[in-house]
Amino acid sequence: MDTTLNRTPLLSLVTPMYNEEQGMEAFFRSTVSVLETITDRWEIICVDDGSRDATLPMLRHRHAEEPRIRYLSLSRNFGKEAALTAGLDYAAGDAVIPIDADLQDPPELIAMMVQEWRKGFKVVLATRRRRTGEGWFKRLSAKGFYRLISRVATVPIPENTGDFRLLDRQVVEVIRRLPERTRFMKGLFAWAGFSTTRLYYDRPARAAGAAKYNLQAMWRHAKDGIFSFTTLPLRISAYLGAIISMGAIAYAGYIILRTLVRGADLPGYASLITAVLFMGGIQLVSLGIIGEYIGRIYRETKQRPIYVLKEQSL
Ligand code: UDP
Ligand code: MG
């Protein structure tokens, strides 16, 4: 990438959009006005993630009026992580900022991010201090998930930090070289490393439209994060197996001794059935965990593209 000193750096925003017709005007209004205060060399890459509403025609229209608003359109709904991947592939900026279309990632923060970037940081995180306007379940589950994954993952995935962050071109190039199909972007960003600083903000409620993630999608996303960034579950099942086997050996010794001393007695159905059921349960859970990894290996080996483009602006 050419980042010679004699030209002003280009700033790219990357916005995945799935059925965002309602909030789009407000989104462009506030982001463009913030961008204009920073530089006139900016672009917004909007990725239409197979929307079924007027998102795509509205993007075409916006692009015709303002060519710095560019768009990609995917052939169907591939999910936010794939849409972001597409956007990062096409963004040309020296700094790239993934940002949600619903104004939950406040554009005002962009100016501060750029300031930190100019100081030399390659990554500027935006960490959520408070989440207003999100239900208790979303807040609680997100908190639990971030806490868990920041403990168990093999790369430090920062707590309460979404995809909203500034990435230097160098970091974007690293992310683009990561070939995996299961794209847990927060994890991939963390994997890349580089000098990182952090800003804090209060996360507001969605400006318009409805959240696109239901419970099932959140659960899948959480599993992707865990299973792509740690093999701890495999180790847990191995350790559990070892502990239970040792318990079983000790118990067997005790039974043998007792039989030698006191002779055989038949009662013992309760302990027997408990042990059988417990072991069966542990085995199924362990198989399930192995299954999660094998499923992921299977998906990776198929080498399917991460997204399919249907249309794009120049
Ligand atoms: N999104 C997407 N594809 C999807 C789901 C969501 O591109 O399948 C986009 C959505 O348009 C928004 C961003 O991802 O710009 C975040 O979505 P949402 O606000 O529903 O998620 P949350 O704020 O609850 O994390
Ligand atoms: Mg949102």
Q: What is the mean pLDDT of residues 127-136?
A: 79
Query: CB of 149 within 8 A of CB of 232?
Result: no
133 shares its domain with 32: yes
- Tell me, in angstroms, the distance from the centre of ligand 2 to residue 168's CA: 24
Q: Which atom of ligand 1 is closest in space to residue 210's alpha carbon?
A: 20
Q: What is the pLDDT of residue 226?
A: 84
Q: Is 100 in the pocket of ligand 1 (CB under 6 A)?
A: yes
Q: Does residue 6 lie in a domain region?
A: no
Query: What pairing do the DSSP bridges indicate for beta strands 11-17 and 95-98?
Result: parallel
Look at residue 133 and tell me whether its pLDDT is greater than 60: yes
Q: What is the pLDDT of residue 25?
A: 92
- Tell me, in angstroms, the distance from the centre of ligand 2 to residue 100's CA: 7
Which residues lie at CB < 5 A from ion ligand 2? 102, 104, 206
Spatial separation of the C-alpha atoms in residues 91 and 43, rounded to whole Å: 8
The range of the structural domain enclosing residue 92 comes to 11-215+305-312
Q: Does residue 284 lie in a domain region?
A: yes
Condensed to tens digits (0 to 9), the pLDDT of residues 28-62 reads: 999 999 999 999 999 999 999 999 999 999 999 99
164 shares its domain with 81: yes
DSSP 178: -
Q: Which atom of ligand 1 is closest in space to residue 20's alpha carbon?
A: 11
Nearest alpha carbon to residue 41 among 68, 72, 19, 80: 68
DSSP 302: T
Q: Does residue 3 lie in a domain region?
A: no
Report residue 53 as tokens.
Answer: 């509403």
Q: What is the pLDDT of residue 267?
A: 73
Spatial separation of the C-alpha atoms in residues 102 and 161, rounded to whole Å: 17
Q: Which atom of ligand 1 is closest in space to residue 77's alpha carbon?
A: 8
Per-residue CA distances from 299 to 127, 232, 252, 274 (Å): 32, 20, 43, 37
Q: Which atom of ligand 1 is closest in space to residue 49's alpha carbon?
A: 7
- Tell me, in angstroms, the distance from the centre of ligand 1 to residue 260's CA: 67
Q: Is 50 in the pocket of ligand 1 (CB under 6 A)?
A: no
Identify the band that residue 4 occupies on the pLDDT scale cut at 50, 70 and 90: low
196 shares its domain with 244: no
Cβ neighbours, 10 Å, residue 237:
18
Condensed to tens digits (0 to 9), the pLDDT of residues 163-217 reads: 999 999 999 999 999 988 888 888 899 999 898 999 988 887 777 777 777 888 8
Condensed to tens digits (0 to 9), the pLDDT of residues 59-110 reads: 999 999 999 999 999 999 999 999 999 999 999 999 999 999 998 899 999 9
CATH number at residue 179: 3.90.550.10
263 shares its domain with 193: no
Q: What is the pLDDT of residue 5?
A: 58
Mutate to test the pocket of ligand 1, among 74, 80, 146, 215 (most ligand atoms within 8 A of CB): 80
Condensed to tens digits (0 to 9), the pLDDT of residues 250-296 reads: 888 888 888 888 877 777 777 788 788 888 878 888 888 888 888 88
59 shares its domain with 191: yes
Q: Is 141 in the pocket of ligand 1 (CB under 6 A)?
A: no
190 shares its domain with 242: no
Spatial separation of the C-alpha atoms in residues 120 and 123, rounded to whole Å: 9
Evaluate if pTM is beyond 0.95.
no
Please list, in sequence order, all residues whose beta carbon lies within 8 angstroms of the beta carbon of residue 248, skipping any fewer than 6 positions away: 275
Q: What is the pLDDT of residue 246?
A: 83
Q: What is the pLDDT of residue 42?
A: 96
Identify the band that residue 6 occupies on the pLDDT scale cut at 50, 70 and 90: low
Please list, in sequence order, all residues whose beta carbon lies within 8 angstroms of the beta carbon of residue 256, skipping any fewer than 6 positions away: none
Q: What is the pLDDT of residue 88?
A: 96
Spatial separation of the C-alpha atoms in residues 184 and 190, rounded to whole Å: 10
Q: What is the pLDDT of residue 38?
A: 92
More confidently predicted of 256 and 307: 307
